[in-house]
Chain A
């Protein structure tokens, strides 16, 4: 499978979840693992460009596919991705645990709908939980990200 532009062998054990494979085998710990049953959204990554829950896929299923994690949005030293920049500018995070998942979901949302209404933003981020309840700032971050992406 190709993760952030680099090819990696598939795990030998088919039980390995994609989320665990990314973190433990490949060593990219930006993808966070919260609930491990698809509710919290922390482990969201892009799979062939569309956001999916990496805890609800077997790593072996990603063989031959492109996976993008939070580390792959902007290379080291390069400017932040517009969505990352927007979260930074609007304080769209508090503890930061949910942030990688939110950012990946929002990247997918803006790709699908570059100019979302406030209702569409609420709908778009409704699959991610922020236990700090910082949703107002996250909502502002999405609006800002849409501006920066134009």
Chain B
């Protein structure tokens, strides 16, 4: 038995999930679990309640909306990777998803979960930021749209309230030049540093507490990445410069 004690809830629909999130103290949403369950296993996270949304039907659609692609809360990353709509309308998203961990992880992991988890080294938040997409946050109080530029507030932190569920994430269609490039120690690892290009926009990941928008002419301006056993801060800055150059060289 690895995780600490928690109370388990498996709501049958979104309304029920939101009412649980509204009434419970210290609840976490369990979607794919590919980031949350390791944290539970190591007891780095010890929520009092888990609200497992996997029993909710009809919440796994990937569909066209407002000239872009909406990905609902239970759409697995593997489904995004295989989606013809994503390949056609937002190939940058497909390229990014292929860099997320491994296929076996993507079979279970959800895109919305990656966004809500807000790992600073994760690809998907940076793609959302580069494209200027948004999430639809649902709670018992209603729905609201939160733009990527307002969403990521710190390391593993978003501006969403504890009672809000990421019901779907919306990515604008990509036309024109785009690229996602990263450097990691091993295939599927989190990136030491990475860049996303969408047209003229550039977003960086792995080099700050959140994904950040940068200027292609001077991509490292103002950056103070941390150094660790895998890469020094200076090496991360070097990677940003080189990857940016590559992303715009096409």
Contact = CB atoms under 8 A, between A and B. Distances in A.
Interface string A46-73: 0100111101111011000000000000
A52 B104 contact: yes
A112 B103 contact: yes
Interface stretch (A89-97, A120-128, A131-139): A120-128
A37 B105 contact: no
Contacts of B78: 50
Interface in A97-116: 105, 108-109, 112
A13 B1 contact: yes
B158 interface: no
B2 A51 contact: no
Given A36-B41, A127-B188, A14 B103 contact: no
B37 A123 contact: no
A122 B102 CA distance: 11
B6 A127 contact: no
B2 A105 contact: no
Contact of A52 (B1, B30, B107): B107
Interface in B2-30: 2-8, 10, 30
Contacts of A38: 34, 37-38, 105
Contacts of B5: 15
B54 interface: yes
B38 A108 contact: no
B108 A57 contact: yes
B46 to A, nearest CB: 11
A16 B1 CA distance: 6
A82 interface: no
B230 to A, nearest CB: 15
Given A44-B104, A51-B104, A126-B188, A17 B2 contact: yes
A51 B76 CA distance: 13
22 contacts: A13-B1, A14-B7, A15-B1, A15-B5, A15-B6, A16-B1, A20-B2, A36-B2, A36-B38, A37-B38, A37-B41, A41-B102, A44-B104, A50-B107, A51-B104, A55-B37, A58-B37, A58-B52, A60-B10, A108-B103, A109-B103, A126-B102
